[in-house]
Structures are given as C-alpha cells and as structure tokens.
Amino acid sequence: MKNCIIASTSTLHGGSYLEYLLIHLQQHFAGCQSILFIPYARPGGISHEEYTLKVAKAFAKIDIVVRGIHEFEDARKAIIEAEGIFTGGGNTFLLVSQLYKNEVMQVLSETVKKGTPYLGTSAGSNICGLSMQTTNDMPIVYPPSFQTLSVVPFNLNPHYLDPIEGSTHMGETRETRIKEFHAFNAIPVLGLREGSWLEVKGEMVVLKGNLKARLFLQNQEPVELESGSDLSGLK
Amino acid sequence: MKNCIIASTSTLHGGSYLEYLLIHLQQHFAGCQSILFIPYARPGGISHEEYTLKVAKAFAKIDIVVRGIHEFEDARKAIIEAEGIFTGGGNTFLLVSQLYKNEVMQVLSETVKKGTPYLGTSAGSNICGLSMQTTNDMPIVYPPSFQTLSVVPFNLNPHYLDPIEGSTHMGETRETRIKEFHAFNAIPVLGLREGSWLEVKGEMVVLKGNLKARLFLQNQEPVELESGSDLSGLK
C-alpha cells in the first residue's frame, strides 16, 4: 500500500530545513531506524555528500539515520532494501537524468508503489507525477526521458506561485506555463503552494497543510482546492 | 556577415507588441519587403495563424509584409529564400522540437550565419545561443536535442529577473538556476533584462538598450555589463 508525503518545498521562509514537516515525518517514518536519501537533484550544485549531511542533521532530530544512495555499491538493492526513502529537491532535470543513468527509475517506482514510506520535496515531489513536464527548473542536463515515477496519476507543480500583483515582468506566469502544457497534454496538474503536501495512503490522496492548492484541468478554468480535499479520483 | 537583433522580450510592460523595437527594426530590415515569421513557440498555446497575424499587424507599421513558415510547403526553402527572419517567443521546448521535427534547425543556423537579417525575441533569442539549456520555460514537450543555432558562442537567459527583494518564496532565483547550469556546463550565460538586446554584426556583438546585462561565467562571480559593452570576445 502506497505511503507517501509529497511536499511542495523542504523549507518554509524563515524556517529551517524540513522543520515544518518534522512532526509529520516522525509519524510517517515511524518504525524506520534509517532511511535512504536520494541526493541526485543537488540544489545549487552541492555534492551528494554535502546534501546528505544536511539531510542527516535534520533527521537526527527525530532519531533517524540517513544514508545517501551514492554510498551504496548497488543502488537498486539500496532502494529495495530501504526502510524508508527521501528524495530531496534541487534540479529536476538532473535528478531524472541520474535516476535513469543509474537505472533506478523503475525500481524506485515499484518500491514506492509496494509501500516503502516515501518523502519527496520539490524535485523529489515532481517525480511522483506521470512526468517531470511541469517542473520549474532549468534544463541544465538532457535526460533520456521526461517520464517519472507515476506514484500519482497526474502531474505536480511544486513551489506553485501565484501571479505577483503589480509585477511589470513580462515573462510567463506559472499559470500561463501550465496552460501551455495543457495545449499539448491532457494530464491534470496540481499546483502545490509552499507549505502544502499530498498524503498518499494506498489509493487515497489528500491535500494537507494550511493552504489551498490550484488544480489545472485541460480546457477548464483552474480551481482552488481546500486543505483536506480528497484527490483520489483525479486522473 | 551575421546581422541579428537578439532581444530579451517582444514587449515591455505597458507597451504594445514590438513597440520599443520598431524604430530599430525599420533599420534592421531595411530593404526587406517581407519577412518570414517562425511561430513555432506558440505563446499561451495560440495557433500559428493567430500568432502570425499578431506579428503581421506590428510589422505593417513599418510597411513589412509577414508570412508564417507554416504557410510554405517547403520550410527549408522558405528559410533559404527569406529576405529577413523573425522567430517569436513562447515555449522554447516547443520551438526547438518543431525546428528539429521540420528539419530546419541546421538550415536556419546556416542562413542566419550567412547574413539574412534575423530578429529573435524571448524563445527566439534563446535559440541563438549554443543550447536552450538556460531557458526559463516549462518542458511541455520533449525535444530530440537541446542544441540550438549557435549564432553566438555562448548561452542566453532572456527575461532575466533579479531576485525579488523581500520575497518569501523558496523556489530558486534565476541566479541560482544559472549557477546550477554552471555546475555541469562551462558555457558563459548572458542574462538579458527586458528592454535589452544584442546587436550582432558579423563577429561584433554589442549590448543595446538602456539596461545593464548580467554575465555569468563558470566558477566566477557574476558581473554587470553596461549598455554598449562589446561582447565579441565572449565564448
């Protein structure tokens, strides 16, 4: 039975890394003495080691040991045998490229679908959708495919950003970008604002956190969903 | 001899489409009775026809006729025989995919390098660099390659956006994204703010418009370039 937290962001403004989620993670990873961390997205280009150390410090607060996937000789085996798995944020193109390069995209999808507790933040959440095609990131590397884990049967836009009132910038708003996605793709897109997350338990998908989320369906006006909304039927 | 205007944006806040550039375009396309428009980037998902009509209206003000590349049976021939070429903005992934699908990336590069006057705005400027890997756009379609026209020997970031002071949003700033690009690529990146453009005449590349541009070199602190700066040596 699937058991996932799919969060818009790791960090809220003014908070420390994973701080706002820790109380939920304690419950989510209850029974796990250690979790496997996937640092492939390398935010700001930091190394796998640096990134894993940062995550280990946060999880130490709830007495969970963190090991980076790069520390294992057999990445596939590390995923299959993990008590819990966390994929951190950074660059989604890089993350997806590395998952394919190390031949673990498929096994990660299967493992998460079988029920290993999973946490994703930002890029690590983006890959929970059908494809990474609603990422906000720059295409700094060329991945062999945009297809991702399909933990949920729709796409995610983490760090969803409302149009900034009074902005004179002429670059596309997030909403315009998602509309462009829907000119070519029928997949629903959920815009998750920072502080929101999805809780996935088996086939149940529920919006958590204090904020609304914005749902985009092809050829329809976007709608605001209240926290607590059941997204289980969305596909 | 190359002869290009590579502009950050088509439109300034409060202005109409191409308005701020028209006086320069009159000179740039002097002698052209008609130009070829490449509408493949389809901003907001609009059709090739709608987009071409919008461009035709703007160019009518300087007595230049616009024909969309989709109107020609032979897109390659249309490019080779064009008096001038304009590639408009929209989604860079879509633009690049279509240029490859229609097998015109190579011929467009050769034609522009031979001296057919070229205008690019936004996505149409992004493709003037070595690759589209510093676009801001969403990967709504999967292009067969990220390599682009190489009209200039570096990369561009159109609609360059400075960090917004006082923002509480935790998504990456543009500068962070470009830094991530430089963790994996050595190519210089020029952040062109809205209202700036590059004038390319042969091997001379000069920053135009009233604003500074921000230059990012791998492993170096970014620097601000004054309008009028000569970028001919940049590579």
A82 Cβ contact partners less than 8 Å away, ≥ 6 residues apart: A35, A36, A111, A116
Whole-angstrom Cα distance, residue A207 to residue A229? 5
Of A138, A180, A181, the CB nearest to B180: A138
Q: Do B138 and A185 touch (CB under 8 A)?
A: no
Region A14-41 average pLDDT: 97
Please report, as a single letter, which amino acid is at residue A145.
S
Q: Grade residue A171 by pLDDT with cuts at 50, 70 and 90.
A: confident
Average pLDDT over residues B138-158: 98
Q: Is the pLDDT of residue A230 over 90?
A: yes
Is B6:B156 a contact under the CB 8 Å cutoff? yes
The residue of chain B with its CA nearest to that of A44 is B180
Residues of B in contact with A159 (CB under 8 A): 169-171
Determine phi and psi for B30, rounding to 5 degrees: -55, 135
The single residue of A8, A159, A182, A229 carrying the catalytic annotation is A159
Bridge partners of residue A199, in order along the sequence: A5, A206
Catalytic: A137?
yes
The answer to whether B28 is a known catalytic residue is: no
CA A187 to chain B, closest CA, distance in angstroms equals: 11
What does the DSSP assignment read for B17-85? TTGGGHHHHHHHTTT-SEEEEE-TT-GGG--HHHHHHHHHHHHHTTT-EEEEGGG-S-HHHHHHH-S-E
Catalytic pick from A137, A182, A196, A229?
Answer: A137
Q: How many CB pairs under 8 A join A and B?
A: 134
Instruction: Calculate the alpha carbon distances from A81 to A26, A36, A149, B208 in Å.
Output: 20, 9, 18, 58
Pick among A91, A170, A179, A192 to test the B interface (most B CBs inside 10 A): A170
ipTM of the modeled complex:
0.94
Dist CA A18 CA A64 (whole Å)? 13
pLDDT attached to residue B166: 83
Active site residue B48: no
**Among the listed residues B23, B215, B228, B198, the one whose alpha carbon sits nearest the alpha carbon of residue B126:** B198
Residues in A touching B12 (Cβ below 8 Å): 170
Place of tokens 């295409």: A139
Proportion of chain B above pLDDT 90, given as a percent: 95
Q: What kind of fold does domain A3-225 have according to CATH?
A: Rossmann fold (3.40.50)
> Average pLDDT in the B166-191 region?
93
Beta bridge partners of B155: B189
> How far is the alpha carbon of A227 from chain B, nearest alpha carbon, in Å?
20
CA distance B190 to B193: 10
pLDDT at A26 over 90: yes
Q: How far apart are CA B62 and CA B65, in angstroms?
A: 9
* Confidence grade of residue B154 (pLDDT, cut at 50, 70, 90): very high
A18: left (phi over 0), alpha (psi -120 to 50) or beta: left
pLDDT tens for residues A110-169?
999 999 999 999 999 999 999 999 999 999 999 999 999 999 999 999 999 998 888 888
Instruction: Kindly list the domain boundaries of chain B, sorted by start residue.
Output: 3-225
**Out of A10, A97, A109, A122, which one is annotated catalytic?**
A122
